[in-house]
Structure 1
Amino acid sequence: MADLQDELHASTEADELGELIDGPFPADPYAPVTDPGAEPLERAHDFLAVHPVADGYCGLPWVLRHLPWYDLELGESHLDTDIPRLRAGHVGAVFWSLHLPEGLAGDRAVGATLEQLDLVKTVIDAHSEGLRLAYSAGEVADVRHCGRVAVLLGPAGAAALGDSLGTLRSLHALGLRVLTLSGASWASEAGLTRFGEEVIREMNRLGVLADLSGTSAETMRRAFAASKAPTVCTRSAARALRPHPANLPDDLLAELGAAKGLCMVPLTAEQTGPSVREVADHLDHVRALAGPECVGLSGTYDAGTTHPRELRDASGYPHLIAELLRRGWPEPDLALLTWGNLQRVLRDADFTARAAQQRRTASTARIADLDG
C-alpha cells in the first residue's frame, strides 16, 4: 500500500499513460464493441466492459462515518455502494463527495472536511484490492487498467474553505479535485464577487474543478467566463422535463455546452423521475442541447435520495445503457457519456493548471480586501 507521500505525488508513468490513452478504450475508440443483434442488456454489459462508468457523485463517506462497522469488499446490504455493486455496474471511477450537512460553517466545516478526507483514505487503505485513490486523468486510467475502481475526492462544499485560499491549497494537496460553489457568500444570486473570481482563478491554477450545481444563473454565467478550465454540474438534469431547482434550464444547458463544460445527470427520482425511461429522457435532452461531449452520469448513491427501481444502487448502470441502446444512441456517444467526457475535463483541468502555474504564483487575496 502506497504511503501518503506516494498518494500526493502522481507517478510519472501514470501521467504519461494518461497522455497516450484516454481511458480503457480500444485502439479505435469509435470501433463497435457490441453485437447489434444481441439483446440490449447483453450489449450493455459488453459495452461497459470496454467503456466503464465514471460516476460523478457518491455520498458514501458521510454514511460510513456513522456506521460502527462495514466491509465494502464483502458487500453491505444497507448501502447503495460497495465493491461488488461497483463491479456489477461496471463502474471504473467514482467521485466520493465530501459535502457536509447544512449548518456547518467556519472552522467546524474545515475540520469536518479534513475528517472526511482522512476517513476516505482509511477506507481505501482497508479495501486496497478493489479501490485506489486517483488524482488525475492518467491515474484514473492506470487504476482502471489494474482492475480496481478509481476513487477521486470531491466535490466538497465551499464552506470547507472558510473563505481562505490557503485552505483551498491545503485541501488540493490532500487530494480534493472538485469544489461546489453553491452556498458561498462570494457566489450568490447576483453572481461571483471579485473574491469569487479570484477563487476560480486559484482553482484553475491548482486543477480543482468548479461544480456549479445549485448555483444561480448569474454565478454560472460568470464562472463560464472566468474559468479557463471546464466547469461541471455534478448533479443537474433538465429543468424543462422536471422543475427541480438544481436542474438547468435550456438556455444554461446550451451555454454549458458552448463552454465545453459537463452536465452530470443524477439518477434520482426527485430530479429525473421514478423510472429508467425518465432518466434516459433527461440524458436525451441534455445531449441534444449541450452536445454529446458535455453530458455525463452522476449516480448520487448513498446521498439520502431515492432512485428508480431499475437503478436502485450502483449495480444498475447496465439497465440505463440498455435503454439508451434501445433509443439508438451510437456507441461513440455512449463512450463519451460513460467515461470519455469526465476524462476530458480532468485532463483539461490538469493542462490548464500547468499553464497557469507558469504565469502566476499562489494568490494571497483575502475576502476583506476584494469584497470588503
Structure 2
Amino acid sequence: MADLQDELHATAEVGELDRPDVEGEFEPDVLEDERGLAVDAGPAGDAADDPLVRAHALLAAHPVADGYSGLPWALRHLPWYDLELGESTIDTDVPRLREGHVAALFWSLHLPEGLVGERAVGATLEQLDLVKTVVEAHPEGLRMAHSAAQVTDARNCGRVAVLLGPAAAAALDDSLGILRALHSLGLRVLTLSGASWAGQNGLTRFGEEVVRETNRIGVLVDLSGACDATVRRALTISKSPVVFTRSAARALRPHPANLPDDVLVELGITKGLCLVPLTAEQTGPSVRDVADHLDHVRALAGPECVGLSGTYDSGAAHPQDLSDASGYPRLVAELLGRGWSESDLALLTWGNVQRVLRSADFTARAARSRREPSTAKIAELDG
C-alpha cells in the first residue's frame, strides 16, 4: 500500500480546500445577542466588539460539527419525546442545537460494557434503526448524511446533519463482513477498543486488517479510549486520517482517554483530528478549562487537527455554561477573547470535520481500485 500512501500525500492538498479565508468577514449590520434578539451593530456599533455577538456571527457562517452525541442510547429510556419542541430530560434537541449553531452531529452507537458477540451486533442494529426512525420523525430539523457533501446539503437546507458513529468494535463480532454491512447501513466511524484484536497489547494481525478494511470502505477509525499501543500502530498503518472523538490533552488533565503530547504531535503530522470533549472529567469544570485544552491541542497538532465533541447525553458531567448543546457560542467567545483568528475558529467548528470526511472518501475510492473486500478471518490471522 506504499504506492497508495504516496498518491494520497501527493494529493493531500485536498485538505487545503477546507481552510476558509474568513478574516474580516463578520461585520453584519444586524447581529443577534445570546437570546437570539436583533442587535443593531452598525458599522461602528459597540455590539460588534462583544465577543459573544462576534461568536454568534461567526457560528452563523461556520457552524459546529459536533463529534459525539450519546443521544441514541438516551432516547431508548424515554417513553415519549419530541426533539422539535424540546426535551428537558436530555441535553440535545433541535431548539438547543439551533441556539448553539450546531449543523452536524455524530450520533454514537456505543454500547454498555459487557455486550459482546451477537448481543452487541443486535444492540448496534437496534440503535441504528432508532436513529433513522428519529430522523424520519423530525424532518424539519434533522437529516441523515453519509458524506461531507450530504452534510453541506443538509446545512444549506436548514437541517442538522446526522452521521452514524462511532460504533464499538464489539459490534463487528470479529467479522469484516459485518463491518461492511454496517457501513452499507450508514456507519461512518468505528472505535478501536474493547475487542480481542484491539486490546491492551495493541492491534493483532486481524486488528490491522480491520483498519485496512475501514480505509477501503470509507469508515473513519476512532482511537479515543484505545490503548497507547493501538493508537501508535493505527497512526502508522491507516492511510486515512484517524480521529479521536473524545480526547483532550493529558498534559493538562491526566485522564486515560486524553492524549500525551507526543501523540498530539504525531496526529498533526498525519493530519488526523482530535475532537476535544466538553466534559468536566476530561477537560475541567469551566469554559476556560476547555479553552486551555483547545489551545494546547492546537499548539501541538496544529489548527487543522482540532475539533469539538459535545459528548452530550453520554452520562458525563459538563463544564459550567456548557451544560447542553446551546453553549457553543460561549466557548467560541472565550476563544475569540484569547486571540483565536476567525479562520482557525472556522476550522475548529466546521472545516476540520469536513476535511476528514472528504479524506476518508478519497482514500476509499483510491483503495477500492486496488484492493478487493477482505475475506480474512480472525482464526486465520490470530489463531
TM-score (norm 1): 0.92
Give the Å deviation of 1:190: 2.3
| Contact 2:15–2:355 under 8 Å retained in 1 | no
Give the SS at the match of 1:248: coil
* Distance in structure 1 (CA, Å) of the matches to 2:264 and 2:84: 38
8 Å contact from structure 2 (residues 297, 306) kept in 1: yes
The structural deviation recorded for 1:34 is: 2.7
Deviations 1:213-240 (A, max 9, x none): 0111111111011110000000000011
- Say whether residues 1:137 and 2:129 are aligned partners: no
The corresponding residue for 1:62 is: 73
How many angstroms does 1:20 deviate by? 12
What does the per-residue CA deviation read over 1:57-102, in whole Å, with 9 as the maximum and x for residues that have no partner? 0000001111110000000011100000000000010000000100
Aligned to 2:304: 293
Q: Is the contact between residue 96 and residue 155 of structure 1 (CA under 8 Å) also seen in structure 2?
A: yes
Question: Quick one: distance in 1 between partners of 2:316 and 2:366?
Answer: 39
Report Cα offsets for 1:148-187 as digits up to 9, x if no partner.
0000000000000000000000000000000000112111
The Cα shift of 1:31 comes to: 3.6
Distance 2:211 2:169 in 1: 12
Cα distance in 2 between the residues matched to 1:112 and 1:30: 43
Q: State the Cα deviation string for residues 214-268 of structure 1 (Å, max 9, x = none).
A: 1111111110111100000000000110010000011111111111100000000
Alpha-carbon contact 1:33-1:50 (below 8 Å) kept = no
Paired letter, 2:176: L
* CA distance, structure 2, for counterparts of residue 312 and residue 93 of structure 1: 18
Any residues of structure 2 matched to 1:140-179 within 5 Å, and which?
140-179=151-190
Is 1:223 aligned with 2:261? no
Aligned-partner residue type, residue 292 of structure 1 = P
1:310 match: secondary structure: coil
**Residue number in structure 2 paired with 1:47:** 58
- In structure 2, the residue matched to 1:29 is 21
Number of residue equivalences: 351
Work out the CA distance in 2 between the residues paired with 1:161 and 1:33.
46
**Equivalent AA in structure 1 for residue 353 of structure 2:** L
Residue 349 of structure 1, aligned match among 344, 355, 360: 360
Give, in angstroms, the shift of residue 367 of structure 1.
Answer: 0.4
Deviates more, 1:178-187 or 1:83-92: 178-187
Amino acid at match of 1:284: D
Residue 263 of structure 1: SS of its match in structure 2?
Answer: strand
Q: How does 1:266-305 map to 2 (within 5 A)?
A: 266-305=277-316
Partner SS, residue 115 of structure 2: coil
1:180 match: 191
| Equivalent position of 1:325 in the other structure | 336
Instruction: Tell which structure's C-alpha radius of gyration is larger.
Output: 2
Whether the aligned pair in 1 keeps the contact of 2:298 and 2:305 (CA below 8 Å) is yes
Return the letter of the residue paired with 2:81. Answer: Y
**2:36 corresponding residue in structure 1:** none
Could you state the TM-score of these two structures normalised by the residue count of structure 2? 0.89
Instruction: Specify which of 330, 335, 345 is matched with residue 334 of structure 1.
Output: 345
**Alpha-carbon distance in 2 for matches of 1:73, 1:99:** 24
Aligned residues with identical type, % of pairs: 74
Residue segments in structure 1 that go unaligned for 5+ positions in a row: 1-18
Is structure 2 residue 117 aligned with structure 1 residue 106? yes
Cα displacement string for residues 273-313 of structure 1 (whole angstroms, at most 9, x for unaligned residues): 00000000000000000000000000000000011121000
Q: Aligned residue for 1:12?
A: none
RMSD: 1.6
**1:135/1:22 CA distance change after superposition, 3 Å:** farther
State the one-letter code of the partner of 1:177.
Answer: R
CA contact (8 A) 1:250 1:289 kept: yes
What per-residue deviation string (whole Å, max 9, x for no partner) do you get for residues 10-42 of structure 1? xxxxxxxxx99978x9xx633423349520000
* Counterpart residue number, 1:195: 206
Task: Name segments (4+ residues, structure 1) moved above 2 Å.
Answer: 19-23, 28-37
- Aligned to 2:230, the other structure's residue is in SS state helix
Q: Distance in 1 between matches of 2:52 and 2:74?
A: 31
Q: Is the 1:33–1:46 Cα contact (8 Å) retained in structure 2?
A: no
What whole-Å deviation, never above 9, does each CA across 1:83-127 have from its counterpart, x for those lacking one?
000000000100000001000000000000000000000000000
Q: Secondary structure at the match of 1:29?
A: coil
For 1:334, the aligned partner's letter is: L
Which residue is 2:31 aligned to? none
Specify the code of the residue in structure 2 equivalent to 1:180.
T
For residues 130 and 37 of structure 1, what CA distance do their matches in structure 2 show? 29
Q: Which residue of 2 aligns with 1:127?
A: 138
